[in-house]
């Protein structure tokens, strides 16, 4: 095959040499179009592969961190060897009747901790993966007419969010009423809204699916005024549920 091609080129050389400039230009155009076609075809696939690789790395880092902090709440407390056994009974904390004075330990890096009290000197543990940076915009398309004024926002994140929860902060008392995930791919989508009795100006949104929430997904959330006066959303942050320890 190579011999036949060489022989054809040798026969046509007289024609090619007579229009050498045109031959070079046509050759460069063909090569440029071929490169552009290959670049357009594979660029989107490479971008998708990079996004999936980034998400896998984030998930792997999260589970590696979880493995380095093993927890076994059901395991009994075993006394150390050659040490006197502790015969004191550990008191059980009841959520319905918290102790009067307690020092809470809460896990809330860059977020809003809910649970326990902030009396005394609280200790904050930054366990778990880093929380994403949250950005938001007003979303009037999802506002509905009703007996009380509403305000809606569109929420975005800059990285994968494990156990996603958002706190929508209003300028006056409000409550979360509805929300949903906006995604370019299919899957399981479910969320719920709620209120925080100790923080009446915060509407809480919990996303059960997708979990973890990919960085390319967005979430729209709507809150309702506690009375007939208008409300304004002033901020949106990650919501972290903290556990208090007496």
Distance CA 179, CA 142 (A): 9
Between 222 and 110, the higher pLDDT residue: 222
**Tens-place pLDDT, residues 143-202:** 999 999 999 999 999 999 999 999 999 999 999 999 999 988 878 889 999 888 899 999
Neighbours of 211 (CB within 10 A): 13
pLDDT bucket at 126, cuts 50 / 70 / 90? low
Would the pLDDT of 31 be above 70?
Answer: yes
Q: How far is CA 202 from CA 40, 46, 108, 169, 193, in A?
A: 46, 41, 16, 5, 11
Predicted local confidence at residue 114, as pLDDT: 54
Note whether 172 and 201 are within 8 A (CB).
yes
Tell me how long the chain is: 246
**From residue 228, how far is each of 146, 202, 210, 224 by CA, in Å?**
10, 17, 35, 10
> Average pLDDT for residues 71-94, to the nearest whole number?
53
CA atoms within 13 A on the CB side of 74: 0
Q: What is the pTM of this model?
A: 0.49
Question: In the prediction, which pLDDT does 74 show?
Answer: 54
pLDDT band at 109 (very low <50, low <70, confident <90, very high): low
Average pLDDT score over the chain:
77
> Which tops the pLDDT comparison, 165 or 119?
165
Max avg pLDDT among 72-76, 113-117, 127-131, 238-242: 238-242
Q: How confident is the model at residue 63 (pLDDT cuts 50, 70, 90)?
A: confident
Using CB atoms within 10 Å of the CB of residue 169, give its burial: 0 to 12 exposed, 13 to 18 middle, 19+ buried. middle
Q: Please tell me the least confidently modeled range out of 94-98, 182-186, 209-213, 239-243.
A: 94-98
């Amino acid at each position: 095959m190579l011999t036949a091609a060489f022989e054809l080129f040798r026969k046509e050389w007289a024609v090619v040499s007579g229009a050498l400039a045109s031959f070079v230009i046509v050759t460069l155009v063909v090569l440029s179009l071929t490169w552009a076609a290959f670049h357009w075809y594979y660029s989107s696939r490479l971008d998708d592969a990079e996004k999936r690789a980034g998400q896998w790395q984030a998930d792997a880092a999260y589970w590696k961190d979880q493995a380095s902090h093993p927890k076994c709440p059901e395991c009994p407390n075993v006394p150390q060897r050659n040490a006197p056994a502790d015969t004191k009974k550990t008191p059980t904390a009841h959520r319905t009747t918290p102790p009067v004075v307690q020092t809470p330990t809460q896990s809330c890096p860059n977020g809003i901790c809910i649970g326990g009290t902030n009396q005394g000197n609280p200790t904050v543990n930054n366990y778990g993966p880093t929380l994403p940076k949250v950005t938001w915009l007003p979303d009037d398309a999802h506002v509905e007419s009703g007996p009380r004024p509403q305000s809606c926002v569109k929420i975005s994140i800059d990285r994968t969010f494990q156990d996603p929860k958002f706190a929508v902060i209003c300028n006056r008392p409000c409550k979360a009423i509805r929300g949903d995930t906006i995604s370019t791919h299919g899957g399981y989508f479910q969320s719920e809204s709620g209120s925080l009795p100790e923080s009446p100006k915060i509407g809480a949104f919990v996303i059960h699916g997708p979990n973890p929430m990919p960085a390319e997904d967005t979430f729209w959330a709507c809150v309702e005024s506690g009375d007939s006066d208008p409300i304004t959303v002033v901020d949106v942050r990650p919501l972290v549920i903290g556990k208090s320890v007496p």
